[in-house]
Amino acid sequence: MKDTLKAGEMARLDYKVPANKTVPHLYPEAHDFQIMPTVFATGFMVGLMEWACMKVLEPHLEPGEGSLGVHIDVSHIAATVPGQVVRVDATCTGVTGRRIGFTVVAHDGLEKIGEGRHERIVVSWERFVVRVNEKAKRARVGEIGTPRGTAGNAA
């Protein structure tokens, strides 16, 4: 990672919530989710918050690097219906080596829907894939490929 990232850097992400990002779509095989209202799912909100944090990091990564979420502590305090636009603001709160801290706030145009903090760690995709594939072999399951857009991938 470049040494250019500083606390206070921000990114904003606007996302129009489609019907397939509602609670019944979170785990379609789970009956408990299927009977819940079709509102923006907490799991998808968390992913949107992570995405905004990745946008903060993007210009500071070296080729072949990416980031992984390692901690999340957020509240989901209001429901959002499909068709509304959720805006997430992510702010870097600190850089400690490869670990980056963020605050995140989500708003749906009518009210704040979530807020909290998130941490990501910057990794070399090549080393990460090797490590995960070693685990896959031990678990006797299929290996993963190299992330799209990184060296060694024809994406």
Catalytic residues: 42, 50, 76
State whether the Cα torsion 143-144-146-152 is positive or negative: positive
List C-alpha distances in Å: 152 to 11, 68, 129, 146, 155.
Answer: 29, 19, 11, 7, 9
Q: How far apart are CA 95 and CA 84, in angstroms?
A: 33
Q: How far apart are CA 64 and CA 86, in angstroms?
A: 30
Backbone angles phi and psi of 128, in degrees to 5: -65, -45
